[in-house]
Amino acid sequence: MNQDSSSPDEDIAQGVTTVSYVADACGRQQLTPGSFWQPVEVVNRQAWLVIEQQVARSKAQVAAGRRSRLHYYMTANQMNPGLLARYTGQPRWRVLLHLCPFFFQRMAAQTITRYAQLFQISPEELMSGLLKPAIPSRQDNSHHAD
């Protein structure tokens, strides 16, 4: 990238300052601070869109009674059954069962507490049906334009 031809693109970079190597007028590479278009920002934005779609799909499945609320919290916190099993010290097959509403409603109090602590909610909130945003909430740290 030529230093003279680089132009800020505040819409994409959203004010994030970066330091990059840029060729000066003589062709030498220099470290230059800038606030210009970053391919990483585009990829991150696309990844967040996919995550948001997965969370919305999970929420719809919970509302339809096809998945347990645990599935929503697992998806919203970007986990899979294997990772959730490791974090809660359970076998993966048991976590898979808990993703089904039938088995979710029959969990032991200790298991409910383990999941609730992981997702930083109360056991009552986990079992009640009210779905809270992921922890930490992405809405508090949102960097994408609406």
What is the C-alpha to C-alpha distance for residues 55 and 74, in angstroms, rounded to an integer?
A: 9
Q: Give the per-residue pLDDT at 75.
A: 95
Does the domain at residues 41-139 carry the CATH identifier 1.10.260?
Answer: yes
pLDDT in tens, 21-53: 767 788 887 776 665 556 677 778 899 999 999
User: Which helix (H) or strand (E) is 91 found in, with range?
Assistant: none
Neighbours of 36 (CB within 10 A): 18
**What pLDDT score was predicted for residue 142?**
43
Domain assignments of the chain as residue spans, ordered by start = 3-37, 41-139
